[in-house]
Amino acid sequence: MSTMDHARRTRSLRARLTGLIAGCIFGVLALMATYQYFALADQLRARARQDLLATVAALRTELNGVTTKQQIGADPRRWYDATHGHQNLDFAVLDANGTTLIASRGYLAPATSLSHVAHQRVPRENDVQKVRNASLGVRLRYIAADGLVGGRGERVTIVVQLDPREQLSVLSGFALTAIVALTIGTLIVGAMTYWLVTIGLRPLRTLTRAAEQVSSERLGAPLTDDDTPAELKDLSHAFNRMLARLNDSFTRLSQFSSDLAHDFRTPISNMMGEAQVALTRERTAAEYKAILISNIEECERLSHMISSMLFLARAESAHTELRKEATALEAIAVSLAEDMAPMAEEAGVAIEVVGQATAAVDGVLARRALANVLVNAIRHSRPGSVVSMRCASSPEWTEVGIRNVGDVIAPEHLPRIFDRLYRVDPSRHTGGDSRVGGAGLGLAIVKSIMALHAGTVSASSDAVAGTTFVLRFPTGMPPGPAGNSRC
Ligand SMILES: Nc1ncnc2c1ncn2[C@@H]1O[C@H](COP(=O)(O)OP(=O)(O)OP(=O)(O)O)[C@@H](O)[C@H]1O
Ligand SMILES: [Mg+2]
């Protein structure tokens, strides 16, 4: 991973956290500001209505103090005082014909006719009416309440008008302040979050830097987690476990490739050596023939190794497809025994097949696995002994046990004989004894064939009971009388 990638990823996490937290704070503040805005609007509206009602009451009191409607316009100051100095309140008193008896300066007659509150009733908040004034561009609030001159004389109408513009400008001022406060508040919270997240992510960056130092040479060195916070300890431990697994595979792969190079070099050096010695002087045709035969043997060994390696590589790739079908394993065993009869005869051993077992397996691969184990058994048998192939099955599994008596595999070698290129006695390979010599790949192939079938292979060896390899396949077939034989 490049430093730029690393920086971009850290930035993105920081930006994401900052965005999320700033967004949440913005949402909460916006909700609070909206709530306050509506609460303020409600309060202003209630206050304005109360002012309207109080003014109507004050004007009605004034009306009680006069005896004729002509007196109404006579002393305007007393009437103006009724508005309690409210700039946004105006009024007019009209007679029954609609003629204005007195009107304050800001009074604007409504464009539509108003419904009147009867003189004997006290006006309430819902008597307030809104009428749009085209020239001001707002809806003015009105209350029209009837009253009697001197309390029992001629009926007149008191109209009180409220201009809501001041109220609206208080509200828009509040909204503007709230938006500015909201923006500044969110920016401050965003900056603080960014800074805090930067500090909070420091251990992650330390861990990343440590991970960047890991190379194939330092796979074995785990990351130290002394300063790692508790939340990242699990990640650091998982990383160390992964490193340990990688280190193990890497070491085995390196070991394998050096063993492989060594094993390839041996037959090639043999061929070169023989050819060079042959060329030091003139040879007879029979000698050349012997050298060629020996070279062919080495080539066969190389070819066997290469095809085994290829087989292993293919078998271990994830795409290997098995052609599974119900197969009688004892039939494969019998056919192998026939094919290997000459080899067995040469080694002085007999092969016997006992029992029956049928499983859903890839016939070609199963044959190859059995053949590899059988060849080993013949190679390592004591002359005059019997190699037995015993088939058995249950509804869940089907197995073939191949047993021979002869060379014993020491307990320390048993767990390793399935590793690639592992031979118990490698000197026997180079010692020129082609009967015993092998590449050390046969059992690795058996193991991978068994893994492909989700089966297992196990080995046991001692001088008395002999050496037994058990290949166990999942039966993979519907249970029935044929699938439950044990022989
Ligand atoms: N039946 C057996 N008795 C004694 N030793 C055995 C037996 N089968 C396997 N081994 C030991 O296990 C080792 C690994 O076997 P494997 O089949 O993988 O390799 P190989 O036979 O040496 O070579 P290849 O099979 O590739 O030709 C052998 O070298 C041999 O020492
Ligand atoms: Mg072998």
Domains of the chain as residue ranges with CATH: 3-171 (3.30.450), 229-320 (1.10.287.130), 322-484 (3.30.565.10)
> What does the pLDDT look like over 284-293, one tens digit per residue?
999 999 999 9
Indicate which ligand has the atom closest to the C-alpha of 438. 1
Quote the ligand 1 centre to 255 CA distance (angstroms).
19
Tell me the H-state helices in 120-216: 165-200, 202-212
Q: Which protein residues have their CB within 5 A of the ion that is ligand 2?
A: 376, 438, 442
- Residue 430: the pLDDT is 41
Helix (H/G/I), strand (E/B), else coil: 295: helix
- pLDDT value of residue 472: 97
Q: Ligand 1 centroid to 432 CA: how many Å?
A: 16
Distance 290 CA to ligand 1 centre (A): 28
Output the CA–CA distances (angstroms, integers) from residue 470 to 112, 373, 392, 404, 425, in the order listed.
Answer: 107, 9, 11, 12, 22
In whole angstroms, give the CA distance from residue 389 to residue 400: 7
Q: Give the range among 33-47, 55-69, 172-186, 348-362 with minimum mean pLDDT.
A: 55-69
Residue 470 tokens read as: 């058990």
Q: How many residues does the chain have?
A: 487
Average pLDDT, the chain: 87
pLDDT for res 435: 40
Q: Is the C-alpha dihedral spanning 247, 253, 256, 262 positive or negative?
A: negative
- For 368, other C-beta atoms within 10 Å of its C-beta total 17
Pocket of ligand 1 (CB under 6 A): 308, 372, 376-377, 380, 404, 407, 409, 417, 422-425, 438-444, 467
Q: How far is CA 172 from the centre of its chain?
A: 47
Phi, psi of 162 (to 5 degrees): -120, 130
Q: Which of the four pLDDT bands, split at 50, 70 and 90, describes residue 9? A: low
Which range, of 56-65, 141-150, 317-326, 362-371, averages the lowest pLDDT?
A: 317-326
